Amino acid sequence: MDIRLPEGGIVIGVGTDIVEVERIRKVYERHPERFLTRVFTEQERAYCLAKRNPLPHLAARFAAKEAISKTFTTGIGKELGWTSMEVVKGEREQPLVRLDAQGLVLLEAVGGHDVLLSLSHTEFYAQAVALLVRKT
Domains assigned to the chain:
14-134 (3.90.470.20)
Q: What is the pLDDT along the chain (136 residues), one digit of tens a residue?
A: 666 666 668 999 999 999 999 999 999 999 999 999 999 999 999 999 999 999 999 999 999 999 999 999 999 999 999 999 999 999 889 999 999 999 999 999 999 999 999 999 999 999 999 999 998 7
Burial class (CB in 10 A: 0-12, 13-18, 19+), 136: exposed
Q: Does the predicted TM-score (pTM) go above 0.85?
A: yes
